[in-house]
């Protein structure tokens, strides 16, 4: 840990305000080059406490940078996790005002909802599948609070992994009935295919992403709570959206999920 508790709280307040006011700030490592990964998660957790103190509730957790495409796009090499509050939820098919965000982009996800708590270390994909209530297709809406969407790994961890919104499709399936690795994914924008992929893009199997999250939480002495909703990470690169855009995600056996972006 390189930063003091006071500095962590101050940086959390700055990022939290930038999110609420929809304005960009310089990535925090510009002014705090010594910031390490533990500091970054401490800032993210301080932001979470601030949101909960304002009356929000945690809707779920997310893994980020779990696919090679995402790691390459962002120039980083390690998965990260963040949280989502209930006000991030977008109804499938909803009209989403772009003005609510700074520079929104969207990415296709496999969503898990678990039953019992999962505790690492040593959690693996098979125990995740045994503990899963259902899986669904989802779209994550990302919105970095950093100028020009430019950041390094610790800055983006502190900024709650760019979490801003999510839509979960209403076709739910038993994870054990599907081969999640070979699940085909087609992502369309304005009727044109902009990205294709398969579940295996996420750490070989999206269930492995949930297991990794349980193991990462264990490093902080935490478990994945019972009944968690989890975004396992973008299967393809993220796609920027602007007013007038319509995006539609088609995941094999899990039905379509769409969003329309309006001014
Ligand atoms: O969900 C994610 O993969 C986000 C991780 C990196 C942040 C971003 O892409 O904005
Ligand atoms: Mg994501």
pLDDT digits 0-9 by tens, 12-65: 999 999 999 999 999 999 999 999 999 999 999 999 999 999 999 999 999 999
| Ligand 2 center–CA 5 separation, angstroms | 29
Does this model's pTM top 0.75? My answer is yes
Ligand 1, pocket-test mutation among 71, 202, 238, 239, most atoms within 8 A of CB: 238
Max Cα–Cα distance, the chain, nearest Å: 50
CA distance linking residue 101 with residue 241, whole number of Å: 11
Q: Which ligand is nearest to the CA of 73?
A: 1
Give yes or no for a cis peptide into 130 (omega within 30° of 0).
no
Residue 260's H or E segment, with its range, is strand 255-262
Q: Which ligand is nearest to the CA of 237?
A: 1
CB distance 216 to ligand 1 below 6 Å:
no
The tens digit of pLDDT for each residue in 180-218 reads: 999 999 999 999 999 999 999 999 999 999 999 999 999
Q: How high is the pLDDT of residue 78? A: 79
| Ligand 1 center–CA 97 separation, angstroms | 20
The tens digit of pLDDT for each residue in 141-166 reads: 999 999 988 888 999 999 999 999 99
The tens digit of pLDDT for each residue in 65-75 reads: 999 877 777 77
Sequence-ordered list of residues with C-beta below 8 angstroms from that of 53, at least 6 positions apart, any chain = none
Judge whether residue 5 has pLDDT over 90.
yes
């Amino acid at each position: 840990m390189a930063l003091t508790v006071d500095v962590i709280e101050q940086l959390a307040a700055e990022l939290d305000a930038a999110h609420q006011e929809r304005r960009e700030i310089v990535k925090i490592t510009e002014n705090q080059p010594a910031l390490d990964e533990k500091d970054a998660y401490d800032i993210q957790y301080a932001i979470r406490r601030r949101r909960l103190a304002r009356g929000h509730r945690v809707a779920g957790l997310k893994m980020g940078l779990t696919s090679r495409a995402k790691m390459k796009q962002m120039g980083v090499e390690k998965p990260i996790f963040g949280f989502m509050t209930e006000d991030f939820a977008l109804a499938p098919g909803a009209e989403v005002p772009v003005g609510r965000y700074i520079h929104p982009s969207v990415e296709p996800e496999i969503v898990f909802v678990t039953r019992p708590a999962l505790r690492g270390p040593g959690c693996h994909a098979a125990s995740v599948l045994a503990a899963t209530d259902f899986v669904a297709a989802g779209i994550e809406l990302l919105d970095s609070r950093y100028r020009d969407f430019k950041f390094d790994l610790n800055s983006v961890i502190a900024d709650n992994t760019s979490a801003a919104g999510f839509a979960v499709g209403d076709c739910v399936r038993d994870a054990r009935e599907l081969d999640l690795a070979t699940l085909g994914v087609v992502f369309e924008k304005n009727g044109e295919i902009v990205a294709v992929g398969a579940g295996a893009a996420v750490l070989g199997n999206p269930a492995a992403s949930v297991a990794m999250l349980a193991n990462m939480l264990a490093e902080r002495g935490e478990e994945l709570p019972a009944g968690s909703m989890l975004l396992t990470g973008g299967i393809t690169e993220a796609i920027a959206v602007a007013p007038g855009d319509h995006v539609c995600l088609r995941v094999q056996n899990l039905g379509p999920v769409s969003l329309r972006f309006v001014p």
